[in-house]
Amino acid sequence: MGGSQGSGVIVSPDGYIITNNHVVDGASGIIVSREDVAKDYTATLIGTDPETDLALIKISETNLPALHFAEASSYRVGDAVLAIGNAFGLGQSVSLGIVSAIDRPLSTEEFEDYIQTDAAINHGNSGGALVNLNGDLLGINTRFYVDPNMDSRKQEPTPSGVNFAIAAPLANSVMEGLKKEGKIRRAYLGAELQTLTPGLAAMFSIPENVKGVIIVGLVRDGPAVKAGLRPKDVITALEGSSVKTSVELERSIIFLPPGKTVEMDIYREGQKISQKVALGEKPPPEAQ
């Protein structure tokens, strides 16, 4: 079969299938093969979300066997898991491992959390299922660890068994959004943020007891500017909940609907103020 190959997970009896965006990105057509019935389908692309590397496709079929999304509270480190997918294009393969870590961010630029597992995830496994021994869907297999210092053209699975799946709660949320609009709309503050460390606090003469996230830059004409936020403002709370790190704040914001007005507690030049901010819509990655 020509073209790239990957895996997918049937998530509804009426033919919705979730996979990785990089599996279908740029495809002129998508063919879905089911080994259990030896049948091929032409799939329709419902939508993609490059930021989470997820995509939703659909085939015209009913009464399909579908996996159930697991709740985040239903798995923990040490649980046995199975990674299922079309490894190396050889056909359906299953590998056994454990949950090595949860809520694993791969970089500060990404908001999604990953499940780390030592179950083998190889080329062709992308978009496949990571399940527990009850068959519940814990995550969508997405990548293996690569040395950041390695030439990208030579990246291969590592023998250390450090592999990652996008957690089921996030995958489920993205799937529902793609069903509704074919894309994911995320809220946006329009500010460059840093966790307020003791060093930054000393640099800007901010008292040690002030904790939160400091604004170090603003996007021109962005929501933060329009709301009157300023560089060196420290955001200490969002909607009444204290803010500890920039990653925490950014992740809280992007899961809110664009256009929502939120209340932020701000420390500014010795004063504590409350500021309402109308969040904008996050532009696509290429526009940022």
Q: What is the pLDDT of residues 67-112, one digit of tens each?
A: 999 988 889 999 999 999 887 767 788 999 999 998 877 654 555 5
Number of domains observed in the structure of the chain: 3
Q: Do 128 and 203 share a domain, yes or no?
A: no
For residue 154, being part of any structural domain is answered with: yes
The residue from 146, 180, 214 where one domain ends is 180
The residue from 152, 180, 208 where one domain ends is 180
CATH for 47: 2.40.10.10
Q: Do 255 and 208 share a domain, yes or no?
A: yes
For 28-54, write each residue's pLDDT tens digit.
Answer: 999 999 888 888 999 999 999 998 899
- Residue 158, pLDDT above cutoff 60: no
| pLDDT, averaged across the chain | 89
Domain of residue 206 covers 187-287
Most confident segment among 49-53, 147-151, 188-192: 188-192
Prediction pTM value: 0.79
Burial of 64 (0-12, 13-18, 19+ CB in 10 A): middle
For residue 78, being part of any structural domain is answered with: yes
Q: Do 173 and 100 share a domain, yes or no?
A: yes
Give the whole-angstrom CA distance, residue 239 versus residue 35.
Answer: 49
Q: Give me the count of residues in the chain.
A: 288
The residue from 180, 215, 247 where one domain ends is 180
Q: Do 37 and 89 share a domain, yes or no?
A: no
Q: Which residues are CB-contacts of 35 (< 8 A; sequence separation ≥ 6)? A: 91, 92
Q: Do 54 and 92 share a domain, yes or no?
A: no
Sign for the pseudo-dihedral over CA of 168, 169, 171, 176: positive
Q: Do 256 and 279 share a domain, yes or no?
A: yes
Q: Which residues are catalytic?
A: 22, 53, 126
